Amino acid sequence: MTTEMNNHPRFPLEPGKVTAPTWVKDAVFYQIFSDRFAKSARVNKPAGLEDWDTDPTTFGYKGGDLLGVAEHLDYIQELGINALYLNPIFQSASNHRYHTHDYFRIDPLLGGDAAFDEMLAACHERGIRVVLDGVFNHASRGFFQFNDVLENGESSPWRDWFVFEKFPPNAYDHGKKPEYQAWYGLHALPKFNTDNPEVREFIMQVGEYWLRKGIDGWRLDVPHEITTPGFWEEFRIRCRTINPECYITGEIWDPAPEFLRGDQFDSVMNYVFTEAVLGFVGRGHIVKEHQEDRGYNPWPGFTGKEYADRIDKLLALYDWNVTNAQMNLLDSHDTPRALTLMSDDVRSLELGYLLLLTYPGAPSIYYGSEIGVDGGMPDKWARRTMPWSKPDTWNTYLLSNVKSLVSLRHAHPALRDGDYQGLWASAMSYAFLRSHHDGTYIIAVNTGAERDTAPLAVQQATELLFAIGDAEMTTSGELALGAQSAGIWKVMNG
């Protein structure tokens, strides 16, 4: 095969030197916001829940639980998922549970510890890994040690677990400063004093406890805000001592090579990739208002050449093993749904999923986005309930395409951890190569409103494995891409 290309480097540039859990490069994650995914009749609930199918509110509970997750594993597995990332599930006084009360107890509304044990066992029986959300930068007003300070002031033996400016602290008058260090200055989220050895040891024991219970890793909430020297290095060592295959990924929205040298995290949530993909597939459709206060900026969009440049820079930023462990995503609980961000243009979302599921690393699908669940900002709209009782609202064509792409990724190792090389880019389109011992694959995407042709001059026969829209390999070996189209071709040997 010969190509007319713009000197894109081929990755990996050299073999990876940083170790990562072996299973992650083969993983496809499904992110579940537990209050909104599914609820089981087997979990007793208080009467004050919101109706499942009504619009979400900022503070209301819908009543989703972990047995609901267990009871929908058939659906999850049919999607091709082999790893779950669960938003926080520890006892908390918030529907998102980032306000932790008890780090050693599963929230009763989620079914408590018994429901967790049943769900985890059911997942592992099916070969599905489970990663939990660790919120270790801050706790909550209801966290026992902080609550003791509220009751006893300077007399509390726990006062040094946090950093107070004066006593008594102002925990509830939002018209005044909290007078203690808090995440984003929010009274409800007092920041841990991780320079205190007692606090440090407490968090280490939380990490160890749930790994002993059988979880497969941690997604760490805002870990860059913990700046205590050696903290994350110790966390990694202690977690890996219990489970050498423990996956540790951090919520860091910017490039973060200083955290990914092999001594702290295996990966980050790859919002740099998210921004590039959404800007490319959604250009002309991006709703500016939905992403203005987020940690990424895909508006107004990127050309194929701009996308190619961003991908080359991203791939060159990390060790290849890190690239293969990155948690790649199109949307999450902290962003608008990708569909809504791109003006409900389903074709843009389809193209986004194709790029997500053919890129190195571990793709993560946010629950419901695969069936077209929508939702913009503020956050509550991106956290709608899964519409199990309304199958007529599901975009089954989108779901079928996502299933096909996940299946192709599992079937062809090159689409998971094969070498990556950009082949060609234009104002509207981008083509790249994935190659492995199982074969060579060409992936091409046109996000424009007009037909485009890639002059790749492919000399060998090819097989079209998957297409969106009008995409074909011509008899002269060129790629002919209709408006908003894409294809995956396998190059045939001989």
Annotated catalytic residues are 221, 251
Q: Are 85 and 31 in contact (CB under 8 A)?
A: yes
Q: Are 31 and 81 in contact (CB under 8 A)?
A: no
307 CB-near residues (< 8 Å, 6+ apart): 276, 277, 279, 280, 425, 430
Q: Which amino acid is at 318?
A: Y
Q: Are 115 and 106 in contact (CB under 8 A)?
A: yes
Which residue from 63, 121, 110 is spatially nearest to 88, judged by alpha carbons?
A: 110
Tokens read off for 296: 């990424």
Give the integer Cα–Cα distance in Å for 472 and 464.
8
Q: Are 374 and 337 in contact (CB under 8 A)?
A: yes
Kindly provide the b/e burial profile for residues 144-161, where b requires at least 16 CB atoms within 10 angstroms of the residue's own CB: ebbbbbeeeeeebebbeb
End-to-end CA distance of the chain: 11
Q: What is the DSSP letter of 143?
A: S
Q: What angle do CA 344, 347, 353 make, to 5 degrees?
A: 100
How far are the Cα atoms of 136, 213, 255 from residue 217, in angstroms, in the given order?
Answer: 14, 11, 22
Tokens read off for 413: 């190792």
Q: Are 270 and 327 in contact (CB under 8 A)?
A: yes
Q: What is the DSSP letter of 388?
A: T
157 preceded by a cis bond (ω within 30 of 0):
no
In DSSP terms, 106 is beta-bridged to 90
